[in-house]
Structure 1
Amino acid sequence: MATIIEMDEVSFSYGSDAAHALDGISLTVEEGAFVGVIGPSGAGKSTLAACLSGAIPHHYTGELFGSTVVAGRDTCDVTLTDISRTVGSVAQDIDAQMVASVVEDELLFGLENFGAPHDRIEERIDRALSTVGIRELRHREIATLSGGQKQKVAIAAILALEPRVLVLDEPTAALDPVSSRTVFETLADVNRRLGVTVVVIEQKVALLSAFCDRVLVMDRGRIALSGTPHEVFGNGERLRAIGVDSPRTARISNSLARAGLTARTEPCLDVDEAYGLIAEILSGARSAGARTASGPRRAGSPHAPARPHAEGAQPVLTFRDVGYTYPGGGASVTDLSLTVYPGELVGVVGQNGAGKTTLTKLLNGLLKPAAGEVRIAGLDTRETPVSRIAAHVATLFQNPDRQICKNTVLDEVAFGLELTGVDPADARERARRVIARFGLPATEAPFALSRGQRQMVALAGVVVMEPEVVVLDEPTSGLDYRECMTVMETVRDMADHGCAVVMVCHDMEVVSDFAERIVVMADGRILGRGPAGELFADDALMARASVTPPQVVDLAGRLARGVSPAFAGITEVSDIVSTVKELMGRA
């Protein structure tokens, strides 16, 4: 097929003294390709997207070398408007991309500015909204939407323009698992049916492996790996060294290959492939007369040890029959009941718009319940000023830019302590220790950092407060694998030291690895609460909440039903591998 994107030795820096964000990138993309881009924060992914969309050189200033040709035109030789007629882009910061106050007007803005025929505008709006599953939001005010719903609006607005190339920078960062897959299915449909070339930057490796025909791994401004998903994710150790995750099923198959249990060299990219591989291995072992084990395995994750709160401890957070409805008829929550003890790490999961963020705002006092009661450290939030609640609860919001206000990372992290009366010298010393733990540049301006690094700055500002309760709204959104592990190990350490953690998170692998128990929400209600492993294994509950269970939990359940009950209750990659070894009599 014809080449639609060609980059020739492209280097770019955001200033004459700045390091190269892109360093000698040469890349060819054929028309109709579906390309995924992954890499650690600061690898140059967003800069690559800016080159493809024409934002570089027409919006961002800096030093640019080499050429980027899209649909036969050098991006330096045509206007940004001309490029935009060919390339539709969805930026990482959705709020900065919105121009209208109502969803319908957001789609109309682009269509009218690009001179779409008036007799086709209604059809294109309806098709774009239907494609991403948000027809019911057509007349909603954008300010009332959740982060995930805004993401869908942005994608719909671009699809309505019918571009030849789509460039998306982490389009599912704020979406629940089912919605994330829906977005990729939408992109795949547009790619196959209309021939639109898709280039998508994404951290969710399972989605990339399932939908992309080519994956690029970026590191320090260069392309470190390029190939099919099977080729790229077969390099598990190199990816980990770069700071990139692999699908859990790929980890399993790679581990089985290293252990000499299979001759298969290609990784398993989904649960179906992993199930087939393990069933084949164990079937061959039985045929060869190997000893096999049976019986249930222990349930639960080693990342979620039993906490001492169960005996005698007083809860630090209590919701009793709580209800709230936004003015103007927005989303509401009803009959929320929840108890959290010191030292617990509780995950809150569910579809976009389920009420998870509303629950967090009720928790930290930003919203007052219309019905029922919320108590924090014994305080009724309806009768207690937010400033007093803040002495007990620290919150990391979904968008870190909304809580960053200082000129350096050190000043930002120390700011909260100083507001509570801590001596400035002591505040800065405590801030330096937390900054060092996160590996952040103390003297840099926060807004000069990548989205993932700004998220870590905001979290550092929460951690340094040493609160009794910490509320995390999508703490791993926009983070690379290494940053995600740094953040979550820090969060787990806070729980180990007695802090109660309530974490809203769409990454079910993270929730499975770190949450002691989960709260499952849908349509403003709590559908279930209990141990993470048990609830993730409840297929009916997961379907009602639009949650896709973690790959390992899904695989373990299928293996327990179809191969051996020894796989029941497993939530860890290492336990799947060790169980296979035990069943083969090779433990």
Structure 2
Amino acid sequence: MIEFDDVTMTYADAADPAISGVSLHIGEGELCLVAGRTGAGKSTLLRAVNGLVPHFTGGRLRGRVTVAGRSTRDQPPREFADLVGVVGQDPLAGFTTDTVEEELAYGMEQLAVPAPVMRKRVEETLDLLGIAELRRRPLRTLSGGQQQRVAIGAVLTAHPKVLVLDEPTSALDPTAAEEVLAAITRLVHDLGVTVVVAEHRLERVVQYADRLVYLPGDGSVVTGTPAEVLTGAAVAPPVVELGRLAGWHPLPLSVRDARRLAAPLRTRLASVSPPPAATVEGPVLLRARQVVVRYGAVFAVRGVDLDLRAGTVTALMGRNGSGKSSLLWALQGSGPRQGGRVDVNGVDPGRRPAREARRLVGLVPQTASDLLYLETVDAECAQADQESGAVAGSCRALLDRLVPGIPGQRHPRDLSEGQRLALVLAVQLVAAPAVVLLDEPTRGLDYPGKKHFAAMVRQLAADGRGVVVATHDVEFVATAADRVVVMAEGSVVADGPTPEVVVASPAFAPQVAKVLDPLPWLTVDQVAAALDGTPA
């Protein structure tokens, strides 16, 4: 179905090609997973499937890409609209209409699909993705995960033969992600649609993949079955890392496969003392009482009480639309708050000018780059110093502490996801807030990037700050968080130490906890440390 024949793509002004000498065949009805470090060329590979690379991006492409016998060299991307459906990382950027129902119909209108057929396909897609109740909602009022499902639905209604997805579950809670992946696998198995998906959270997708295309970062690709390729890949989900540590062959790709092999490992770990629980109980830095956020008649936050302590990393979890982002904005003071009070050192951030509020509570939004608007990294840092009243060079010093070596003259939009996140975090931290709020910070980060970011978050807590991370990333929570607060329909439904809360939840439990249940280990690093103290 898809053929890459000795393809090399070099962007304008780039010293090295993004992908080099790639020859690849993806058969009809395959689910092909594309993996690799951030910046390794995954998005380039995906965009080449329908000709966005190089027709839209510019640059020079050598070799040939064909889809169902049609060459992207000979036809522009619009000529592939009936054949290839593409969903990018930012769904909101791709919307062209105002409401969910209109967006689902728009692509079919451009393809001149008859009205009765359009009506039927819209209903089928609403049911397939579980978004029927959203049909008349304005797109901008949806949560990030809801927007992601609508974006997928908008391309599915055209019934493409090939579906290309770039980070399709990055904004979804675990349950919603499973629903979307179940829909995608039905398309593959029941309709024979070829799906090419790039995803950093391999633990969600790898068990469903027929083929894994791994980009090591040098422009080349390694392809094969997931178990074969992940044996030596630098990125791998926790269940595979656990399999490597335990010496399991073949490597398990799912929790079920791993549990079938894990009995001897559980026996060894049963005699080892469990990892110590977090005991940090610093002073309360932020106290929120009866916080209410309402949008018209819809309550996003319903009377939430929350204390944030120094030295503690709190994970804020819950399904899409549960009120996490609304709560964070209300705590910071920039967002609406119709009731309750927030106290930071005797001051309510919501009653102070924005500059003063930043000194009390710093917030990094879901799309961190929204806070970047200047031409260079150095300019952003200098502006942050000026706005915060900090000594010149303070923001740059913070950035170098978080991620050393970012060129000062580089445009912020040219940075990797992890570098941009670090820059925005430095911009917020230079105001020296006691409380730092992070909304979905691990979107777009690969496994090594998330590990480094977890260390950054832990260091913020060690410096005496209170940190809140709103996230759907259960593996990151297992690594970085001391405490988990779970929200549902605007209310707090669970609050406690990370091991107690996440292990008790089938949806929020990390892979290692599921494999080793009922033992209390959450991460591969914890297991490795435990095994170091036991006889081999």
User: Structure 2 length normalisation: TM-score?
Assistant: 0.94
CA contact (8 A) 2:349 2:356 kept: no
**Partner of 1:412: helix, strand, or coil?**
helix
- 1:60 paired residue number: 57
Q: Which runs of 5+ in 2 are unaligned?
A: none
Aligned partner (choices 518, 522, 526) of residue 571 of structure 1: 522
- 1:274 paired residue number: 258
- 2:289 paired residue number: 320
- 2:198 paired residue number: 201
- 1:72 paired residue number: 69
CA 1:143–1:448: 2 relative to 1, 3 Å: same
Q: Deviations over 1:449-502 (max 9, x none)?
A: 344443333233234443211110011111122222222211111110101101
**Partner of 2:307: helix, strand, or coil?**
strand
CA contact (8 A) 2:173 2:319 kept: yes
Give the Cα–Cα distance (whole angstroms) in 1 for the partners of residues 20 and 288 of structure 2. 52
- 2:301 paired residue number: 333
Aligned partner (choices 417, 430, 434) of residue 397 of structure 2: 430
Give the Cα–Cα distance (whole angstroms) in 2 for the partners of residues 205 and 438 of structure 1. 27
- 1:444 paired residue number: 410
The 5-angstrom pairing of residues 288-437 of structure 1 reads 297-298=273-274, 300=276, 305-309=278-282, 313=283, 315-327=284-296, 329-423=297-391, 425-427=392-394, 429-430=396-397, 433-434=400-401, 437=403
- 1:251 paired residue number: 241
Give the Cα–Cα distance (whole angstroms) in 1 for the partners of residues 521 and 476 of structure 2. 15
Aligned partner (choices 467, 471, 481) of residue 433 of structure 2: 467
Aligned residues: 536
Q: Deviations over 1:254-304 (max 9, x none)?
A: 1122xxxxxx42112222222211226678xxxxxxxx8857843556xxx
CA contact (8 A) 1:376 1:389 kept: no
Superposition deviation, residue 308 in structure 1: 4.5
Aligned partner (choices 251, 265, 275) of residue 249 of structure 2: 265
CA 1:33–1:151: 2 relative to 1, 3 Å: same
CA 1:384–1:56: 2 relative to 1, 3 Å: same
- 1:564 paired residue number: none
Give the Cα–Cα distance (whole angstroms) in 1 for the partners of residues 458 and 266 of structure 2. 36
Give the Cα–Cα distance (whole angstroms) in 1 for the partners of residues 418 and 59 of structure 2. 22
CA contact (8 A) 2:40 2:215 kept: yes
CA contact (8 A) 2:388 2:430 kept: no
Q: Which runs of 5+ in 1 are unaligned?
A: 258-263, 284-291, 561-566
Give the Cα–Cα distance (whole angstroms) in 2 for the partners of residues 575 and 220 of structure 1. 29
Give the Cα–Cα distance (whole angstroms) in 2 for the partners of residues 575 and 46 of structure 1. 33
Q: Deviations over 1:47-68 (max 9, x none)?
A: 1111112212321211111111
**Partner of 2:359: helix, strand, or coil?**
coil
Taking only the aligned residue pairs, the percentage that are identical comes to: 33
User: Structure 1 length normalisation: TM-score?
Assistant: 0.86
- 1:288 paired residue number: none
Give the Cα–Cα distance (whole angstroms) in 1 for the partners of residues 502 and 276 of structure 2. 11
Give the Cα–Cα distance (whole angstroms) in 2 for the partners of residues 556 and 463 of structure 1. 38
CA contact (8 A) 1:278 1:580 kept: no
**Partner of 1:379: helix, strand, or coil?**
coil
CA contact (8 A) 1:413 1:464 kept: no
- 1:261 paired residue number: none
CA contact (8 A) 1:322 1:337 kept: yes
| RMSD (CA atoms) | 2.2
Superposition deviation, residue 196 in structure 1: 0.4
CA 1:296–1:431: 2 relative to 1, 3 Å: closer
Tell me the amino acid that sits aligned with residue 488 of structure 1: A
Give the Cα–Cα distance (whole angstroms) in 1 for the partners of residues 290 and 474 of structure 2. 27
Give the Cα–Cα distance (whole angstroms) in 2 for the partners of residues 30 and 294 of structure 1. 45
Aligned partner (choices 2, 20, 25) of residue 23 of structure 1: 20
CA 1:320–1:220: 2 relative to 1, 3 Å: same
Tell me the amino acid that sits aligned with residue 319 of structure 1: A
CA 1:36–1:174: 2 relative to 1, 3 Å: same
Superposition deviation, residue 387 in structure 1: 2.8
The 5-angstrom pairing of residues 115-134 of structure 1 reads 115-134=112-131
1:215 aligns with 2:212: yes
Q: Deviations over 1:18-53 (max 9, x none)?
A: 421121111111111100001111111111111112
Give the Cα–Cα distance (whole angstroms) in 1 for the partners of residues 513 and 410 of structure 2. 41
Q: Deviations over 1:415-445 (max 9, x none)?
A: 222112224x33465356346x344232111
CA 1:470–1:273: 2 relative to 1, 3 Å: same
**Partner of 2:21: helix, strand, or coil?**
strand
Superposition deviation, residue 215 in structure 1: 0.8
Give the Cα–Cα distance (whole angstroms) in 1 for the partners of residues 104 and 367 of structure 2. 23
The 5-angstrom pairing of residues 89-100 of structure 1 reads 89-100=86-97
CA contact (8 A) 1:414 1:430 kept: no
Tell me the amino acid that sits aligned with residue 444 of structure 1: R
Q: Deviations over 1:67-90 (max 9, x none)?
A: 111110111112322212100000
1:556 aligns with 2:529: no
